[in-house]
Amino acid sequence: MTEDQIFECSPDVVSGALVFAGTRIPVDVLFENLAGGASLDEILEDFPAIGRERAEAAIRIAAERLHREAA
């Protein structure tokens, strides 16, 4: 799954925030909920349009970027 399949950003959608492709759900929702102690299952129950595959891919991408920046 490519980043283009996971994310999109348009000034006409949620004021240009990075969202999960095909939704109006900001990517920040995933990370803010995880940081707040919610499990991935709980987040996906509240935001099923994200989908497990995209959520896991978003987490992997974020982890890879953090790892690269720390190196």
- Domains along the chain? 3-70 (1.10.10.10)
Lookup: tokens for 36: 């707040």
pLDDT of residue 69: 87
What is the pTM (predicted TM-score) of this model? 0.89
**Residue pLDDT tens, the chain, 71 long:** 889 899 999 999 999 999 999 999 999 999 999 999 999 999 999 999 999 999 999 999 999 999 988 87
Could you write out the three-class secondary structure of the chain? CCHHHHEECCCCCHHHCCEECCCCCEHHHHHHHHHCCCCHHHHHHHCCCCCHHHHHHHHHHHHHHHHHHHC
pLDDT of residue 1: 83
